[in-house]
Structure 1
Amino acid sequence: MNKVFVSRRVEKKLHKGQALLEEVDFPDLSETDQEVELFSQRKEFLGKAYLSRQNKGIGWFVTNQNISFKQTFFESLFKQAKLKRSSYYQDELTTAFRLFNQEGDGFGGMTLDLYGDYVVFSWYNSYIYGIRLEIIAAFSQVFPEVLGAYEKIRFKGLDYESAHIYGQEAAEYFTVLENGVLYQVFMNDGLMTGIFLDQHEVRGSLVDGLAMGKSLLNMFSYTAAFSVAAAMGGASETTSVDLAKRSRELSEAHFHANGLSLDNHRLLVMDVFEYFKYAKRKGLSYDVIVLDPPSFARNKKQTFSVAKDYHKLISQSLEILNPGGIIIASTNAANVSRQKFTEQIDKGFAGRKYQVLHKYGLPADFVYNEKDESSNYLKVITMKVSK
């Protein structure tokens, strides 16, 4: 077992409850993908961690106890995680939710999502991938009712992204319930599954009638889950815009699953910024506009970054929003604080007044590290624009 002596700065971070280890804190590190014991400069034992490069950071602090990351350890984590989600198991209107959320549930670098009778493991670095068999064995002990499992590889270096790993294989496409609405999902086709589970409270507000009798525009719509939720909640019409060609057939499947005719629901494969121009030119306007862009996007004409460019989405939405309309502004960019996000929104409003109807972070199944703001990465603000 390797011992690593950390700086006073890292020690302070750990005492504050931060779990993500950053490369800047380990300048002399030559070897990663290992379990380590962390010690202070005064040679005091601080706890157990592992080092492994991933999209963010260089590893994770796990526990201040001297415990090995073996099957029994993961079984105890999974039992706690299952208990925390008892209300979801009792909810007959929802069959898809997160079972384990990285450091919020005690172990950074992996997530587990339930889709009906199937689970999806996501591995975010090569260390956790290397011990996945013990993790999977622990999971099958605690969740024997799960019929089959899939994995998603969310780090570079392997020659595949998705695979079936044990139990029954799911149908290529099947439906899950969320807030009483059916969504079509797929377990083994790249990294996506057809729905982003962290938005189920926001979709719930639409199912509950936020857009009842209203027209809704859904930008960066992916599979149009917000639009389907709005339609089920009584929206008079929806328009969903996404540049990905496949988004149209995946979106149609959600509407069909709920017996919704597409007569009043348009699905457009188009660049969002081009659509703003088109809508303005054609005199189109909407009562509700949903803005949920990727953190960073690039097309042939321009790049888009939430941190620098979100205000443009707000200002262009205001040009086609009906008087007294609603904007649902959303981002999952962990590097953009709630304050920075609000500043981008205010920049887009340019002095115009709005009333905040609701603020959302991650829902209860996405347990996060309350001592690290970036762990609660989802930021959604529903606003009513003053007439």
Structure 2
Amino acid sequence: MPKLTDVTLPTQLKERLAQGHPWVYRTHVPPQLRLPAGAWVRLRCGGWSAYGLWDAERPIAVRVFSAHGLPNAAWVRERVRAAWELRAPLRAAGCTAYRWLFGEGDGLPGLTADVYGEYVVVQAYMGGAGELLGWLAEALREVNPALRGVVLRQQRADDQDEDQVTGSQGGEPDQARSAPSPAGALLSLSGSLPPQQLVVREHGVQLYADLRGGQKTGLFLDHRENRRYVEAVSAGRSVLNCFAYTGAFSLYALRGGASAVVSADIGKGLAAATAANLALNGFDAARHSFVTDDCFAMLERFAAAGRRFDLVVLDPPSFAKSKASRYAAVRAYARLNTLALRCVAPGGLLASASCTSQVGPEEFKGMLTAAAAGAERTLQIVHEAGQPLDHPVPAGFPEGRYLKFVVGRALERA
């Protein structure tokens, strides 16, 4: 075993660390400690000890990997295989796009791996992950020999969902759902590079996935089951899908029998991308239209004109990248949901999502209560969900629960 630096932590952290919290913030390590990114360290806190990886720059100084031994290639392979087995029901259901590794949730902090057919797209949200990436690529192809390639997607400004943020409540969780920006470079870790676009399936719906220029690693995989819920309640309804990206919620609504669907997003090229997805699935384009506009402005316009829908879907970008912006985020969510509720027909449904870890589930529902009051509606919550199977959350890591999806029936006030 190589010589390791011992890092002694404040004793008040012991309970949290012993319960499995995987992060040590820079404010909790000795201020004079200087180590290269990617150095393994031994953490000590009272009678607790574990092995972690040092990050030289980010607010999270150390990610905790193991309490039992220094990680190596075999250790990584065990984590990869366990995560593969957890996702077996998704493969059995015919899903060819899903998150194979969800960082902290699968015991490999700071790393994600997304499956798109025969390719895996890896992202690293920490410095000094080079050795781990080599082990990871080898393990992924060993566990699934059918893979044609494992690639690393370089981080971009809008890909910071798992990037660590400041404050005591950081998290994966701030997914930017907006227009594509210049493509993130793909670096081959093993095998070949993927084509520009792939076709993947989830629950029988086909989707084009742009692994180079699209948001996230190509698609928003965390809403897979929420899209199925929207499908189940769409029959005969008029649907407005805000922040639609390439129309995944709209596709499910159409398959569920929606009478008409309007998709809306400000992003350039997203109307064409959504049309391509409709054609790919053979859906009737006459039941669908796309509005390229700012969703706040569009909802204000629809509300003023008295335009109503039986189901409104809100899946906005994160309004909070840090704890400091949390209160502004809640105000933005409240305004957005108030506008949306004014566009819901009496007795209709609002399906509202939040992807920021800075706003917890109860605070999110409190915001919906305030939004309903602002719209002079009563909101009955009929469904609530968090993350799906491929985004597990350790019990000792509440920051890992970032996704909220709440469906409510909007009623006129008595």
Q: 2:221 aligns with which of 175, 194, 197?
A: 197
Q: Once the 2 structures are TM-superposed, how far is the Cα of residue 224 of structure 1 from its aligned partner?
A: 1.5
Decide whether aligned partners of structure 1 residues 333 and 2 sit closer, same or farther in structure 2, where only a CA change above 3 A counts: same
Tell me, yes or no, if structure 1 residue 363 matches structure 2 residue 388: yes
User: 1:221 offset after TM fit, Å?
Assistant: 1.3
Instruction: State the TM-score, normalized to the length of structure 1.
Output: 0.90
In the alignment, structure 2 segments of 5+ residues that lack a partner are 158-181
Conservation of the 8 A alpha-carbon contact between 2:320 and 2:329: no
Between the aligned partners of 1:14 and 1:246, the Cα distance in structure 2 is: 46
Closer, same or farther: CA 54–89 of 1 in aligned 2, 3 Å: farther
> Is structure 2 residue 190 aligned with structure 1 residue 186?
no
Deviation at 1:170, TM superposition (A): 3.0
Asked if structure 1 preserves the Cα contact closer than 8 Å seen for 2:96 and 2:202, the reply is: yes
Q: Offset of 1:155 from its aligned partner?
A: 7.0
Report the CA distance between 1:191 and its aligned residue.
Answer: 5.2
Q: Which amino acid aligns with 2:394?
A: N
Match of 2:34 in 1: 30
Indicate the larger mover: 54-63 or 274-283.
54-63
Which residue pairs with 1:384 in the alignment?
A: 409
The Cα offsets for residues 123-150 of structure 1, whole Å up to 9 and x where unpaired, read as: 1112224531222122222221112222
Is residue 2:265 matched to residue 1:263? no
The answer to whether the Cα contact below 8 Å between 1:123 and 1:155 also exists between their aligned partners in 2 is no
Gaps of 5+ in 1: none
Tell me how far apart the structure 2 counterparts of residues 56 and 235 of structure 1 sit (CA, whole Å): 46
Letter in 2 for 1:307: V
Give the SS at the match of 1:278.
helix
Structure-2 change in CA distance of 1:174 and 1:332 (3 Å) = same
Aligned residues between the structures: 376
Partners of 1:295 and 1:336 lie apart in 2 by: 10
When the two chains are superposed, the root-mean-square deviation of aligned CA atoms in Å is 2.4
Q: Are the structure 2 counterparts of residues 197 and 9 from structure 1 closer, same or farther at C-alpha, using a change threshold of 3 Å?
A: same
Match of 2:164 in 1: none
Change beyond 3 A, Cα 1:139–1:54:
farther
User: Is residue 2:17 matched to residue 1:14?
Assistant: yes
CA contact (8 A) 1:194 1:223 kept: no
CA distance in 2, matches of 1:56, 1:288: 41
Equivalent residues of 1:150, 1:187 under 8 A apart: no
Any conservation in 2 of the 1:331–1:379 contact (CA below 8 Å)?
yes
Structure-1 residue corresponding to 2:142:
141
**2:379 counterpart residue number:** 354
1:9-45 per-position Cα deviation (integer Å, ceiling 9, x unaligned)? 22222023211222222251433522110012x5x45
Report the residue type matching 1:133 in the other structure. G
Counterpart of 1:386 in 2: which secondary structure? strand
Which SS does the other structure have where 2:145 is aligned? coil
Taking a change above 3 Å as real, the CA distance of residues 146 and 365 of structure 1, as seen in their structure-2 partners, is same
Task: Give 1:314's aligned residue.
Answer: 337
Other-structure match for 1:326: 349
Q: What displacement does 1:153 show?
A: 2.3
SS in 2 for 1:185: strand
- SS of the equivalent of 2:79 reads helix
Code of the residue aligned with 1:364 in structure 2: it is L
Q: Secondary structure at the match of 1:48?
A: strand
Percent identity over paired residues = 25
Q: How far does residue 354 in structure 1 lie from its aligned partner after superposition? A: 2.0
Partners of 2:313 and 2:327 lie apart in 1 by: 17
Query: Does the alignment pair 1:107 with 2:131?
Result: no
The letter for the 2-side match of 1:88 is: L
Q: Please show how residues 35-184 of structure 1 align to structure 2 within 5 Å.
A: 35-40=40-45, 42=46, 44=47, 46-52=49-55, 57-67=60-70, 69-92=71-94, 94-154=95-155, 161-165=184-188, 166-184=190-208
Matched-pair contact (CA < 8 Å) for 2:303–2:339: no
SS at match of 1:58: strand
Measure how far apart 1:226 and its partner are: 0.6
On the 8 A contact 2:80/2:101 being kept in 1, the answer is yes
Cα 1:297/1:282, change in 2 over 3 Å: farther
CA contact (8 A) 2:320 2:358 kept: no
Distance in 2, Cα, partners of 1:32 & 1:214: 57
Q: 1:6/1:181 Cα in 2 relative to 1: closer, same or farther (>3 Å)?
A: same
Q: 1:279 aligns with which of 293, 302, 312?
A: 302
Using the alignment, how far apart are the partners of 1:325 and 1:288 within structure 2?
A: 6
Offset, 1:246: 2.4
Hey, what's the Cα distance between the residues in 1 that align with 2:183 and 2:25?
27
Change (3 A) 1:13 1:245: same
Instruction: Check whether the contact 1:125–1:155 (CA below 8 A) recurs between aligned residues.
Output: no
What CA deviation, in whole Å up to 9, does each residue of 1:331-384 have, x standing for no partner? 110111111111111111117322211111110111221222221211111111
Distance 1:252 1:282 in 2: 27
Q: Say whether the 8 Å CA contact 1:163–1:188 is kept in structure 2.
A: yes
Structure 1 residues 327 and 27, CA, compared in 2 at 3 Å: closer, same or farther? farther
Pair 218,55 (structure 1): closer, same or farther in 2 beyond 3 Å: farther
Contact (CA 8 Å) 1:332, 1:377: kept in 2 or not? yes
- SS class of match (1:126): coil
Question: Residue type matched to 1:104 in 2?
Answer: G
C-alpha contact (below 8 Å) 2:153/2:187 kept by paired residues: no
Residue-by-residue CA offset, 1:94-142 (whole Å, 9 max, x unaligned): 2111111111111110111111111111111122245312221222222
**3-state SS of paired residue (1:293):** coil
Cα pair distance change 1:129/1:232, threshold 3 Å: farther
The CA distance in 2 between the partners of 1:250 and 1:58, in whole Å, is 40
Bigger RCO (CA 8 Å, 6+ sep): 2
